[in-house]
Chains A and B, each alone.
Chain A
Amino acid sequence: MNLHAWTAPLSRRRVLRGAGVSLALPWLEALSARASVGAAGPPMRAIFISNNLGVLPKPFFPEGTGADYTPSSLLERLTAHRADLTVVSGLSHPNVRGGHSTENCFLTAARNPTASGFRNTISLDQFAAERIGHLTRFATLNLGVNIDRGNRSLAWTRDGSLIPAEDRPSRLFERLFVEGTAAEVAARRRRLRERESILDALAADARRLEARVSAADRRRLEQYLTSVRELEDRLQVAGAWEARPRPEAPAARPADVTDRARLFEGFEAMLAMARLALETDSTRLVTLMVDAFATPAFRLADARTTTDGYHNLSHHGQSAEKLAQLEQADRWQMDLLGAFLTALADRREGDGRLLDRTIVLYGSNLGDANTHDNTNLPILLAGGGFRHGSHLAHPHDDNRPLSNLFVSILRRLGIEADAFGSSTGPLAGLGP
């Protein structure tokens, strides 16, 4: 949760302590400078899913453009949802090249990930969270399947720090629904206060130091102080949420799929948890990276195991055997997505479907894993009330920025955004 967007002149700590620890949510909204977002009416959500090896391009992209496109073999698995989804081709992030090295840039569009001194930037979900994250217990949920937690994530802070993904559905369940005993809650509150005091001491110390170091050193210490301040913000909001009880668990606690070979079962489990989180309004922003690259030989839908790890498989070198397995894997992915969309569509929220209030983005940083091609990325957009049902095609040899779609998504979330990443404007063809 990242609330450094607040610029209230008061000491936030003083005000909050004066009002007592337990705060009703609307009070927080009033304090927020950008409180107009989402405060009235049903909330809009977004979930961003990436498979860091993508899908086979030929079986994925459809023939024809516009509303009359002929679905490809993979898109046929999603026929039931044709009216609720849009296929987009010809998008990529400019200057984001380098094969697998681009996976962490999928939601950031940070350029030149392979350059020495590369620094990632804020990811789409974190950017949105700065503006609407305070409205839910969790500003965002960053999830992963088989994910190399230390090195990969879709979620990145403004200053290029990786936000580790949650890769255990059971742990996510705990965070969402398990209250803990009174002792545990008291312990958590004590911890929060303890942490606050530590941050006070660190800030005082760093300010003393600042006064006697060089200008260059001072810049580093400023970074430290900014981090202290951001942590303080986080703690305060966390404190308010601590006082509020968690929602009731609508389902049983899930078991974790620990076997990394069962990638798609893990994906399914994580999608189910994501849906629970959205349904209970525990968060309105979810990121989910399916770390295919880190996946060893894995199980296909017919219970057979692939002949090779997912990464090696993706370098199929035109081998028919490898291609067949990849197609199976891709089909399973489409099926899982379809089931996810069905569940969202079946869920009513007020007078509408949850699907219409949930923007679903599925894609990859790789347009063709075999050749490490980072152009012509596979992009599926569903739900969220956009105008769907088409294949929006952009030039194959002159891609448009994927960030343009991100701008459209931000606006759909009720956030006034003129630009994000390397965007040149919103993406045309998605409706008002």
Chain B
Amino acid sequence: MDTAHDERRGGSIQAGRAVVGMLVALTACAARADPAATLAGLVRSACGACHAGGAAEGGLDLDALGLDLADAAVRDRFVLMHDRVAGRQMPPDESDLAPAARAHLVEALSAALVTADAEAIRVEGRVPLRRLNRAEYQETLRDVLALPTLDVADRLPEDLVRDGFNKSAEGLDVSRIQLDATLDAAEAAVTQALPPGASPQAPDHYGAFATRLFAEGQTFGEREAMFFAKDGAALSFTGPQLAALRASLVQDPAIECCIFRSAYWPYYGYPAGFIARRGGVYRVRFRARAVLQQPGFTIGPADQPVPMTFRARRRSGPDVSGDVRAVGGIFDILPEPRDFETTVLLHADQTIEYSVLGLPVPLARNVAGGPPTYRYPPFPEGGQPGVAIQSLEITGPLPPDPWPPASYQALFGTLTFRAAPSGDPLPVEVATSDPVTDARRLLAGFADRAVIAPLNAGDLAPYERLVGDALAAGVPFTRALLTGQAALLASPHVVYLREPRGLDGTAGGGRSMFDLAARLSYWLWGTRPDDVLLARARDGSLAGGATLAAEADRLVADPRFERFIEAFTDYWLDLRHVRRDEPDVRLHPEYRFDDYLAESMALESRAFVTSLIRDNLPARSIVEADFVHANDRLARHYGLPPLAGHAVRRVPLPPGSPRGGLLTQAAIQRVTANGTTTSPVVRGAWVMARLLGQTPPKPPASVPAVEPDIRGATSIRDLLARHAADASCASCHARFDPVGFALESFDICGGWRDRYRGLEEGDLVTGIDRAGHDYAYRLAAPVDPSGRLPDGRAFTDIRALKALLVAEERQIARNLLHQFTAYATGAPVRFADRAELESILDATAGDGYRVGDLLRGLVTSRLFRGLPPAPAPTPSAPEPTP
């Protein structure tokens, strides 16, 4: 062996190849002698020329690395090596490793890795303790304390994103800051659980008609944007007249408040004189109809519903300042007047403002240093849609129902309470004749609620001591108990999730049932298990695959599943970034201030992913489908027949449409662009990584970034020409640039384009944008969406590419399983997990890898249930010597 090594060090690749052949033969004979040495030999012979003996190409030095597969870092490197060799990316010249030798090396690597990984799992577990992320922590507190509107997540630091999600055990650390914030959140939460006073406080009422419906006489955009109307015509008032009308006790119910612009900045849009005195949930009732404004400031009924919502904010100048939150849900305001009702969460000192969606946002600007100007955008044919409001009623804060509030009962059970003396930081005082006994009892009861698995005897002792010491020191009962309960909410019992282990009857079986229930619930609902799921854990039936699958089905069908969809798509599809970039208003004036478009595209992608699971669609739908989910805004955006209403619904696509599937959805195009330009490299790499699970390696450090040319002089394709021309660039870029080129048919917001836009070269297009300003851009070079996949197959456009990519359905399904695994278990798929995932894929292959079935397969897998991986099959090697 050593002679061969020396030969190889001095030799050329040609000599190396000959030696490889010889060594393979040698090692095959010595197969059973020592697997590790065999593997070492195989690796060295295949890889040593570039990666050992002083050479360390690409940062891989086999001599320094060693072969201790028990070490996680070493193992990870070998997994990478296995994948590169199996994927024929290494050696760079494929012919340097003969297929038989490659297969042998891959098998040996695989066997060794499976053994080592399985052993590591057996010893350390698959996933360590995982801290709840802040969204999960907030939901947990909401459920434990029966406070559905509790708002503490923002007190906690943002969670690290790792392996694509903010749910990774290794990424969710506890630091001084984290723990401090958790304590703050827990203390705030238990305090909010108290009733605000001795008896429910009557809510405040506010009502507005006519001129009280709007705080000012006009808003930005002036008359076209908002006016009061009666009998279908705008009214005009002087300032004093309007003030007098507002102040009058008698309001004319025939006067409507008509709004024709969206609430995006700058804007005045709140009713006169309403401010929430106290924070809480308010009921909002209003009567409104959808109208069309015609030139001359007249209105008539609209022909389509107009979507509208509310925003909660502090009153301020016209600028958006501080917290502005959309609240109350979206309504489709109809042409006939109708009553609507919703509830909104307001903090003290907040008001609500009308937020009509999808309308112009007039913005005064100092063009070329002159005075502020704008023109209201030209009316669409038929008139400018808007909303006419006839009345508004706001009532709140709604007193808790039942009384005492459920949240109080969660802490103090059936004990009575009275108002606390003034100056006391807490609003109420709980009455008890036996504080020590009551404290013990209530603490135990609270622990039952707060901690998922039953505590061991003595686990509660530190908290009993905490409360007992406080009582002994003279701290009032209410405060003493709250302190103990807050501490429990910040304890490892609540803050961490444990991996289920040993459900096959070995140590820890009982507790593991609860860990499994928790794992399932935090995956599909983002919160602790409900009583039904806990009952299954308690009686042990959750250990059975059928019950587990049935519970998963129940959770998926429940409205709370929405929380999973939101959290999952926020990270898997980067939907949390959908508003990250403002579209460049010079090149895309039609997208200016179009928040409704951003909202709608996020709704579409979420609805699609929901449908993948609930409707059990085949995995290839991610690439290609004959339908989209669309609402009124998206129908316009995608060039479909018009739809009414804000809710996205499934609509069939005309044959030959480029839309359909996740790949071409507007949200995906938007989060992979930067607001001004699109990049085939960024998009292609994103698609390959997120949808196909084939993440490209990092670019070389020495390559400077491409400076896109928005003058329109050169196309991005020209600027990237080197990627194809230069062989070393192409080795990586050929894998993802082509997808990006096909996606060049979609602009920064996913709108279809046949030509690029620029500022200096091309055919001029002018007009007035949604903010009332002149725009001028040029239509420049045509988009060339053609390309060639690494295997040589060519495509002319995105439709053709989709038809080719659909063949990768197994890989798409595999990637979905990987994404689900990382999200649901807090750790990515490990080498020892792969075999089981392949068997799930095998089981679903016949039916097109339906996503609901994939999910169910994962739920009932050994991986998910915390069972050790099934023993690996022995690699096909020469007969073992007895």
Contact = CB atoms under 8 A, between A and B. Distances in A.
Q: Do A and B bind each other?
A: yes
B173 A317 contact: no
Nearest to A221: B492
A65 B319 CA distance: 46
B422 to A, nearest CB: 12
Contacts of B458: 208
Nearest to B580: A311
B132 to A, nearest CB: 13
A194 B492 contact: no
Nearest to A97: B701
Contact of A217 (B129, B175, B462, B470): B129
A231 B170 contact: no
Chain B interface residue bracket vs A: 35 or more
Interface in B114-142: 123-125, 128-129, 131
Interface in B559-618: 581-582, 584-585
A216 B827 CA distance: 13
Contacts of B322: 258
Contacts of B486: 198
A327 interface: no
Contacts of B475: 194
B465 A216 contact: no
Contacts of A312: 581-582, 584, 675-676
Contact of B490 (A163, A202, A230, A319): A202
B171 interface: yes
Contacts of B490: 198, 202
Nearest to B364: A305
A224 B707 contact: no
A227 B496 CA distance: 15
Contact of B705 (A201, A214, A302, A372): A372
Contact of B707 (A115, A187, A194, A317): A317
B177 interface: yes
Interface stretch (B158-166, B528-536, B650-658): B158-166
Interface stretch (B178-186, B293-301, B721-729): B178-186
Interface in A86-129: 95, 97, 99, 115-117, 119
Contact of A205 (B462, B470, B483, B708): B462
Contact of A151 (B158, B176, B484): B158
Given A205-B462, A258-B322, A370 B707 contact: yes
B369 A304 contact: yes
A132 B490 CA distance: 31
B487 interface: yes
B316 interface: yes
Interface in A186-233: 187, 194-195, 197-198, 200-202, 204-206, 208-209, 213-217, 219-221, 223-224, 227-228, 230-231
Interface residues of A, number: 67
A116 B697 CA distance: 12
B178 A317 contact: no
Contact of A157 (B175, B466, B487, B711): B175
A307 B367 CA distance: 9
Contacts of A213: 129, 498
B466 A200 contact: yes
Contact of B183 (A2, A115, A198, A258): A198
Q: Most chain-A CB neighbours within 10 Å: which of B487, B492, B582, B759?
A: B492
Nearest to B127: A216
B759 A319 contact: yes
Interface string B349-367: 0000000000000000110
Which 10 residue pairs spanning A and B have beta carbons closest together?
Answer: A161-B175, A204-B462, A230-B176, A201-B462, A216-B128, A220-B129, A227-B179, A201-B466, A258-B321, A216-B124
Interface of A: 2, 95, 97, 99, 115-117, 119, 150-151, 157, 159-164, 183, 187, 194-195, 197-198, 200-202, 204-206, 208-209, 213-217, 219-221, 223-224, 227-228, 230-231, 234, 258-261, 296, 302, 304-305, 307-309, 311-312, 315, 317-319, 370-373
22 contacts: A150-B158, A159-B175, A160-B175, A161-B177, A162-B157, A183-B423, A194-B475, A198-B183, A201-B487, A201-B491, A206-B491, A213-B129, A217-B128, A221-B492, A224-B179, A227-B178, A230-B176, A258-B322, A259-B317, A307-B365, A317-B710, A317-B711
Interface of B: 123-125, 128-129, 131, 154, 157-158, 160, 162-164, 169-171, 173-180, 183, 265, 316-317, 319, 321-322, 365-366, 369, 423, 425, 458-459, 461-463, 465-466, 469-470, 475, 483-484, 486-487, 490-493, 495-496, 498, 581-582, 584-585, 674-676, 698, 701, 704-705, 707-711, 759
